């Protein structure tokens, strides 16, 4: 799960095991080759690995944090930790799953430092339809208006495909708490979404 930044155990069914081209086995094998080259100091291999996995993990962080600049900082810290602990990656899970686990640990540390900030609680704040561009952008803007707990529940379960057990392990809560948070989060999201249409 995601309790250790260097653990290499199967985690989210939806985060690391999907590949954009649908060829999961080829992608995992290719990742293993790149990881070996990165461990040997190959900068080109690192650029390839970085380019392959950063967009998806960064997208998760943007949706969790709600601010692109903070998500970029967390993504940088994620890669620093990943490279530092790369020798501990054993391939028991997809590399993206492992990288997402590190990203979630970075996010949790970030969140603890920002718990006093009031984010997503101003009922008068509305995303501007003129800035949406597409539905995904609109969803991200509405997510950014939700409190952290609601945002986490929707992003991790509904968007990334984590089970309640995996979310519980990642956030150090009970699976039942994850389920109840998701129910409240969906209700809050629907209210926000309908209020912007």
- Output the pLDDT for position 42: 92
- CATH ID of 128-197, from 1.10.10.10, 1.10.760.10, 3.40.50.720, 1.10.30.50: 1.10.10.10
Q: What's the average model confidence in pLDDT over 46-60?
A: 94
* Residue 64: pLDDT over 70: yes
Q: Which residue has the higher pLDDT, 15 or 152?
A: 152
Domains of the chain, residue spans: 1-115, 128-197
Averaged confidence pLDDT in the chain: 79
The closest of 79, 107, 96, 126 to 171, measured between CA atoms, is: 107
Q: Which residue has the higher pLDDT, 19 or 156?
A: 156
Return the structure tokens found at 19.
């590949």
- CB atoms < 10 A from the CB of 88, how many? 13
Contact 154, 146 (CB under 8 A): yes
Q: Which residue has the higher pLDDT, 121 or 83?
A: 83
Q: Which phi-psi region, left, alpha or beta, contains residue 120 (left: φ > 0; alpha: ψ -120 to 50)?
A: left
Dihedral sign for Cα 159, 163, 166, 168, please. positive
1-115 adopts what CATH topology?
Answer: Rna Polymerase Sigma Factor; Chain: A (1.10.1740)
Question: What whole-number distance in Å separates Cα of residue 176 and Cα of residue 113?
Answer: 26
Name the phi and psi angles at 66, rounded to 5: 90, -5
**39 burial level (CB within 10 Å; 0-12, 13-18, 19+):** middle
- Output the pLDDT for position 96: 87
- Output the pLDDT for position 91: 82
Tens of pLDDT, residues 18-39: 444 445 555 666 899 999 999 9
Model confidence, pTM: 0.71
Under DSSP, the state recorded for 134 is: S
Question: What whole-number distance in Å separates Cα of residue 152 and Cα of residue 50?
Answer: 24
**111 burial level (CB within 10 Å; 0-12, 13-18, 19+):** middle
- Output the pLDDT for position 6: 39
Give the Å distances, CA to CA, from 10 to 34, 82, 88, 118, 168: 20, 16, 14, 34, 14
- Output the pLDDT for position 150: 92
Tens of pLDDT, residues 95-152: 988 898 899 999 989 988 887 654 444 333 444 444 445 787 888 888 988 988 899 8
Question: What whole-number distance in Å separates Cα of residue 61 and Cα of residue 49?
Answer: 18
């Amino acid at each position: 799960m995601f309790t250790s930044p260097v653990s290499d155990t199967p985690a989210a069914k939806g985060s690391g095991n999907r590949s954009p081209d649908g060829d999961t086995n080829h992608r995992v094998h290719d990742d293993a080759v790149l990881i070996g080259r990165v461990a040997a100091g190959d900068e080109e291999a690192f650029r390839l690995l970085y380019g392959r996995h950063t967009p998806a993990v960064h997208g998760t962080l943007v949706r969790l944090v709600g601010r692109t600049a903070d998500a970029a900082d967390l993504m940088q810290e994620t890669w620093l930790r990943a490279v530092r602990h790369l020798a501990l990656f054993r391939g028991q899970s997809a590399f993206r799953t492992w990288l997402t686990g590190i990203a979630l640990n970075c996010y949790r540390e970030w969140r603890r430092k920002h718990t006093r900030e009031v984010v997503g609680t101003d009922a008068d704040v509305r995303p501007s339809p003129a800035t949406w561009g597409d539905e995904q952008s609109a969803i991200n803007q509405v997510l950014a208006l939700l409190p952290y707990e609601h945002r986490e529940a929707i992003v991790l379960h509904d968007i990334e495909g984590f089970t309640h057990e995996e979310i519980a392990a990642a956030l150090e809560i009970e699976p039942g708490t994850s389920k109840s948070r998701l129910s409240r989060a969906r209700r809050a999201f629907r209210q926000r979404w309908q209020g912007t249409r």
